[in-house]
Structure 1
Amino acid sequence: MTTIALTIAGSDPSGGAGIQADLKTFSALGAYGMSVITALTAQSTQGVDAVLAISPEFIEAQFNTLYQDIQIDSVKMGMLMNKEIVTTVHHLLKTNPIPIIVLDTVMVAKGGHSLLKPDAITAIRELLLPLATIITPNLPEAAALLDCDEAKTEDDMQKQGYELLKLGCKAVLMKGGHLPSNESPDYLITQNNTVKITAPRIQTKNTHGTGCTLSAAIAALLPNNSLPDAIAQAKNYLHGAISHANDLNIGKGIGPTHHFYRWW
């Protein structure tokens, strides 16, 4: 059976991140993708110019229309923007179970524009983390969720991962891309063990949408793979997409990764 994956996130009209990146990733990895849009953005490779939140009522209408018709195997959550949207999504997932929930704690765009209101951080911590099969924070996002300083070492990463685990999620993928090293170290942390997953750091400015792509890849792969295997395959896919990002030559700023590098 084809995996059916749903993304609940914001729209990126430039196609590099958000809903558009998620749907490309689902397709590239053999999953059928669907979407519930939480926000519209006016953005390009040079940054975010404007953001318009979708009303909680219309987010609920989008979700209910899909859920009543189609069996959903996994859901990936991205940009949720404010407390009202977080509360709405929590209610929807609490009352309409989906087997796999991947939470990408999107807070800031690559260009530095904030995509999350301060009151939403507490709501995500208290409402969505306990529902999540896995969360995928980078180092600034992990620090914001824990209200602490950003991790500076791999030991700090692991400690913060365990602290996040205590908040109720089943697994944490701590992403170490912000560490200054020749590799990009990630740590998959569960109640049973910790697995380090590394990849060589790729020298390119074209990394727009990498976080969205990784979490979407996990949502596409997890229904048919163990958690460690899904993470490893997702990271391998992302590494290939970043490796070929310069082939696209899109825009004047931080360009997108190449989601279809295996076919183009």
Structure 2
Amino acid sequence: MNIAQALTIAGSDNGGGAGIQADLKTFQELGVYGMTVITAIAAQNTTGVQGVFPIDYDGIVQQLDSTGADFQPRAVKTGMLYSAEIIRLVAAKCQQHSWSNLVIDPVMVAKGGAPLLQQEAVQALTQDLLPLALLITPNIPEAELLIGRSIRNLSEREEAAKQLVQMGSTYALIKGGHDPGSGMVIDVLYDGHSFHYLENLRVMTRHTHGTGCTFSAAITAELAKGSPILAAVTTARAFIQAAIEDELGFGTGHGPTNHFAYQRRQRGER
């Protein structure tokens, strides 16, 4: 049985909607064997983040090395990396273990507004990790922090994607969910030469916790299976759209998305 392997290097979300929990659920739903390196533990629920507790540096080193010594992930994604020190470590280990198909989800702020990436780590991400990336998947506020200026319209989103590719990533995907100006959500994918636009109807719901983690995990899973980048992003967009539309309704705040929804739709179930 030739099952593709994928690795997520990210934080833990005890509520199960984001972080490594969301990544593993997504990998499983898309037929990929998932592995994890945990960088931090977030204490959170749908109402917010109550605390973030980083894993000891040596513990992260050993997780990365034990994975690299015995497994062969065909794609790797990063989520919450927390500090500049951890970002530089992950960049070094990706090179040491020859991990390719790196997808960076630059997790910076939780849905409730709590910071999940220390400010000084942004520079390390752009200088050390971004040049190793196949794809980076920021939302609009994250892209603004990465490029150092505001993004007010689709044209400026395109320019931001270009700038991220110039900074080192092979592809850049600027997600449009934070743009309030349309009934459609438009994600912009730049391949270094041209733009591709993925449009979906905006779903008015508060149950969107972990959308970025789930979207990037779905892309990573499809890359691990050998899909080209545009096909991987297209499948992932359908996956997260289904997960948002078929809401679970958990919690009193920003509830998690429905990781079961895409495959249930594929089987003709709702």
Q: TM-score range by the shorter chain?
A: over 0.9
Mean Cα deviation higher: 210-219 or 186-195: 186-195
CA distance, structure 2, for counterparts of residue 207 and residue 78 of structure 1: 17
Counterparts of 1:249 and 1:161 in 2: how far apart (Å)? 34
What is the rounded CA distance, in whole Å, between the counterparts of 1:152 and 1:3 in structure 2? 39
- Measured after TM superposition, the shift of residue 6 of structure 1 is 0.5
Structure-2 residue corresponding to 1:3 = 4
Q: Secondary structure at the match of 1:30?
A: coil
**Alpha carbon RMSD of aligned pairs, Å?**
1.0
CA offsets per residue over residues 200-226 of structure 1, 9 Å max, x none? 001111000000000000000013211
Q: Write out per-residue CA displacement over residues 181-236 of structure 1, whole angstroms, 9 at most, x where no aligned residue.
A: 10110011011221011110011110000000000000000132111111000000
The alignment's TM-score, normalised by the length of structure 2, stands at 0.95
- Does residue 237 (structure 1) correspond to residue 239 (structure 2)? The answer is yes
Residues 1:126 and 2:140 are matched in the alignment: no
| C-alpha distance after superposition, 1:149-176 (max 9, x if no partner) | 2x11101100111011100110000111
Q: Where does the alignment leave 5 or more consecutive residues of structure 2 unmatched?
A: 265-269
Deviation per CA, 1:54-93, whole angstroms, max 9, x where unpaired? 1221111011111111111111100001111111111111
Cα displacement (A) at 1:249: 2.1
Deviation at 1:36, TM superposition (A): 0.3
Amino acid in structure 1 at the alignment position of 2:107? V
1:17-28 to 2 correspondences below 5 Å: 17-28=18-29
Could you list the structure 1 runs, at least 4 aligned residues long, displaced by more than 6 angstroms after superposition: none
Count of equivalent residues: 261
- Name the SS of the counterpart of 2:185 in structure 1: coil
Partner secondary structure for residue 179 of structure 1? coil
1:69 aligned onto 2:86: no
Structure 1: which amino acid aligns with 2:49? V
Unpaired runs of at least 5, structure 1: none
Q: Where does residue 183 of structure 1 map in the other structure?
A: 184
Taking structure 1 as the reference length, the TM-score comes to: 0.97
Mapping 1:172-251, distance limit 5 Å: 172-180=172-180, 181-223=182-224, 224-245=226-247, 248-251=248-251
AA aligned opposite 2:152:
K
How far apart, CA to CA, are the structure 1 residues paired with 2:243 and 2:159?
30
> What is the alpha-carbon distance in structure 1 between the residues aligned to residue 170 and residue 98 of structure 2?
16
Q: Supply the distance in 2 between the matched residues of 1:233 and 1:167 (Cα, whole angstroms).
A: 26
Cα offsets for 1:72-117 (capped at 9, x unmatched): 1111100001111111111111211112100000000000000011
CA distance in structure 2 between the aligned counterparts of 1:154 and 1:148, rounded to whole angstroms:
14
* Percent identity over paired residues: 43
